[in-house]
Amino acid sequence: MRFSPIAQISRSALKHNIARLRQVAPHSKIMAVLKANAYGHGVIQLAQWLDGVDGFGLARIEEALTLRDSGIGARLVLLEGVFNEEDLEQAAHHQLDVVVHDAEQVAMICNAELSQPLRIWLKIDSGMHRLGVQPAQFDDLYQQLSQSNNVQQPINLMTHFAVADELENPQTVKQIQCFNKLTKGLPGERTLCNSAGALSWPAAHGDWIRPGLALFGANPMVGGRAEQQDLTPVMTMRSKVLTVRALAAGEPVGYGQSWRSNKDTHIAVVAMGYGDGYPRHAVSGTPVLINGKRFPLAGRVSMDMITVDVGHANVEVGDDVVLWGQGLGVEEIAECASTICYELLCSTTARVAYQYID
Ligand SMILES: *Cc1c(COP(=O)(O)O)cnc(C)c1O
C-alpha cells in the first residue's frame, strides 16, 4: 500500500457540471476557463474531456500553446491578452482569440504586421478596476480596432464582475448597466459572467458565459456549497491513515503544542500536509473524512502529515481519508483555512499523483 495523496479527477462529475451550466444558461455558449492548469485538475486531460464545449479561456499564452501543442483545435481565448509583438504574431498564427484591455494593446495590434487577422474581445472596465478600457476611452479604441486590417470584424465585447458572488451587492447591476450602455447596438458577441455571474445573474448571461470554478463543482457564492447549486466536485483529494496512537487527556499534539486533548482519545496521522497542498492555516476542528465519517483536525498541519482526533472510533492504518471533494466540500475546508476554494484547488503540488476516473 502507498501512503501518499492522490487527486482523483472524475469525468462524470465534470459532465454533470457542464450539463448543469447549460441548464442554467441555455442560450449562451460556454467558454470553459482552464487557466492555472485547469484550477489544478490537469489542463490537457480536462480539455480533452471537455471537447463538447464551445471554447476555452486561458490566462496566458503559454497555457494556450500547451493546448495547441497537444492537438487541441478548439477556440482558445487569452483572457489577459498579449504584451509584445512576438506573442501577437504567435496568437495570430495559432488562431488564439485575444482579449484587448488597454490603449497600448490597441496601438500594438493596429501597427503590427500579422500573418492573419486576429479575433479579439475588447474588454471594458465596468467597475472591477483591474483590466479593461475605461468607459471614456471605449468609443475611440473601438473605432481604431474596427478600422484595422489586423482585426476580424465584428469585435467581440467583454467585461468582468467584481462581486458577482454577493447577491445583495448593487455593484453587479451597475456594471451590467455600464456595459450595456456602452455596447448598445454594436454587432459583436458579448460575455460578462464568470461562474458566480452565470449562476446568479441571468440578465447578464449574454452570448458566452465564462465559468471556471463551477465547472469543477464548487460553489463560488459567498458561504455557498456545491449541493445548493446542484454541482458535483470533480477533484477528490484522498490519502491514507499512516498510524493511530492513543493520547492521554491533557497531552498536546504536533508542532507548537497548539492543541491539547481534553479527554483520553486516539490520534490518526494522515499522509497529507502543506507540502502536498493542504492549507497550513486550516484550524483545529477542520473536518477530515475517514472511512466516510467526519473527524476534527487536531493541531498544526505539517509538511507531510496532519493529525486527526478520532476518539474511540474504529480507525486503522491504511484506512481511506478524504481531505476534500466527494462527501466533503472544498468550500468548507477553505473557510476553515481562511481562504477560498479556488486557492486550495490550485495549490496541489507536484508530489500529488493524479488519477483520472470515469
Ligand atoms: C478566471 C476568470 C474567469 C472564471 O472565473 P470563475 O470565478 O472561476 O468562474 C472568468 N473570466 C475571467 C476574465 C477570468 O479571469
Question: pLDDT tens, 88-124?
Answer: 999 999 999 999 999 999 999 999 999 999 999 999 9
Atom of ligand 1 nearest to the CA of 123: 13
Testing ligand 1's pocket by substitution, the residue of 29, 31, 56, 79 carrying the most ligand atoms inside 8 A of its CB is 79
pLDDT for 335-349, tens place per residue? 999 999 999 999 999
The domain tally of the chain equals: 2
CA gyration radius for the chain?
23
Residues 328 and 262 in one domain: yes
Co-location of 276 and 315 in the same domain: yes
Within a domain: 154? yes
% of the chain at pLDDT higher than 90: 99
Cβ–ligand 1 contact at 220 (below 6 Å): yes
Domain of residue 20, CATH code: 3.20.20.10
Closest ligand 1 atom, residue 158 Cα: 13
Question: Given pLDDT bands bounded at 50, 70 and 90, which one contains residue 1?
Answer: confident
Judgement on whether residues 174 and 248 belong to the same structural domain of the protein: no
Q: Domain boundary at 216, 245, 268, which?
A: 216
Q: pLDDT digit string (tens) for 24-58?
A: 999 999 999 999 999 999 999 999 999 989 999 99
Phi-psi region of 176 (alpha: psi -120 to 50; beta: other; left: phi over 0): alpha
Q: What is the CATH number of the domain that holds 268?
A: 2.40.37.10
Whether the per-residue pLDDT at 163 is higher than 90: the answer is yes
Q: How far is the CA of 1 from the centre of ligand 1 (A)?
A: 39
Instruction: Report the SS3 class of residue 325.
Output: strand
Does a structural domain hold residue 2?
no
Ligand 1 proximity of 38 Cβ (cutoff 6 Å): no
- Whole-number Å distance between alpha carbons of 180 and 357: 42
101 Cβ closer than 6 Å to some ligand 1 atom: no
Confidence of residue 74 (pLDDT cuts 50, 70, 90): very high
Which of the four pLDDT bands, split at 50, 70 and 90, describes residue 2? Answer: confident
Q: State pLDDT tens for residues 116-145.
A: 999 999 999 999 999 999 999 999 999 999
Give the domain range for residue 323: 235-357
Global pTM value: 0.96
* 266 in contact with ligand 1, CB cutoff 6 A: no
Shared domain for 172 and 250, answered yes or no, is: no
Distance from the CA of 290 to the center of ligand 1, in angstroms? Answer: 33
Distance 44 CA to ligand 1 centre (A): 18
Q: Copy the grid coordinates of residue 247.
A: 493520547
- Domain membership of residue 221 (yes or no) is no
Task: Decide: 254 in ligand 1 pocket, CB within 6 A.
Answer: no
Residue 351 marked as a ligand binder: no
Per the structure block, which three cell numbers stand in for 266?
A: 486516539
Q: What is the pLDDT of residues 235-245, one digit of tens each?
A: 999 999 999 99
Q: Is 181 a catalytic residue?
A: no
Residue 29 within a domain: yes
CA–CA separation, 9 and 39 (whole Å): 12
Tell whether 106 is covered by a domain.
yes
Q: Whose CA is nearest to atom 10 of ligand 1?
A: 194
294 three-state secondary structure: strand
Same domain, 276 and 308: yes
Under the banding of pLDDT at 50, 70 and 90, the label for residue 152 is very high
Matching residue, cell 493520547: 247
134 and 166 part of one domain? yes
Annotated catalytic residue 354:
no
> Which of the four pLDDT bands, split at 50, 70 and 90, describes residue 159?
very high
Query: Could you tell me the end-to-end alpha-carbon distance of the chain, in angstroms, rounded to an integer?
Result: 23
Confidence at residue 233, expressed as pLDDT on a 0 to 100 scale: 98
C-alpha cell at 229: 447549486
What pairing do the DSSP bridges indicate for beta strands 320-324 and 235-247?
Answer: antiparallel
What band does 270 get if pLDDT is binned at 50, 70 and 90? Answer: very high
Domain identity same for 118 and 79 = yes
For residues 211 and 240, membership in a common domain is answered with no
283 secondary structure, DSSP code: P
- Is residue 3 domain-resident? no
- Look at residue 185 in the predicted model and tell me its pLDDT: 97
Please indicate, yes or no, whether residues 88 and 130 belong to a single structural domain of this protein: yes
Indicate whether 73 and 170 sit together in one domain. yes
What confidence tens digit (pLDDT) does each residue in 168-198 have?
A: 999 999 999 999 999 999 999 999 999 999 9
How far does residue 55's CA lie from ligand 1's centre (Å)? 14
Ligand 1 centroid distance, CA of 211 (Å) = 6
Which pLDDT value is given to residue 156? 98
